[in-house]
Amino acid sequence: MVRNYFYLIVGLLCVLFAITHTLNGIATTLPTLNNVEIDTNTKVACIYVWHIIGVENLIFGIFLLFMAFNKNMSKVKFVAWIIIAILTIRWIVITYFTMSGNNGNIKQLIPDTVAIFVVITLLFLGTKVKDRKINI
């Protein structure tokens, strides 16, 4: 039985983000590394960092799906706050490097900002869900 629908929704979103991030990289972003003349080690670093982000999103999704069914919300609340902190720092890093390295093109920030803030908001709401007593 689902105990926290916020965690369930965010878990499904994170799994979806992991899949789309990885597929986007494979289809569009990573092949462009072959069209430029850069060191092989740099190419490999870009490829594994891209996939680390995809796997990180997948791990968040799997944990949140388990958390959605956990009977004791107070036990999983700390994990939700850690994920919120990681996503906040991720957004700060994305914003900093986008603004400093791209002449401040704020339009590039919109998709990531919307996705991250929707997830953070839903996670925050999930931390407010109280344990329910089941009467038999």
Residue of 9, 20, 24, 26 whose CA lies nearest to 61: 9
Least confident of 76-80, 124-128, 131-135: 131-135
Helix count and strand count (H, E) for the chain: 4, 0
- The one-letter code for the residue type at 29 is T
129 φ, ψ to 5°? -70, 130
The separation between CA 8 and the C-alpha centre of its own chain, rounded to angstroms, equals 14
State yes or no: pLDDT of 37 exceeds 60.
yes
Half-sphere exposure of 3 (CA within 13 A, CB side): 22
| pTM of this prediction exceeds 0.85 | yes
**Residue 123 pLDDT grade (very low, low, confident, very high; cuts 50, 70, 90):** very high
State yes or no: pLDDT of 50 exceeds 90.
yes
Residue of 30, 78, 87 whose CA lies nearest to 56: 87
What tokens appear for 51 in the block? Answer: 């996939």
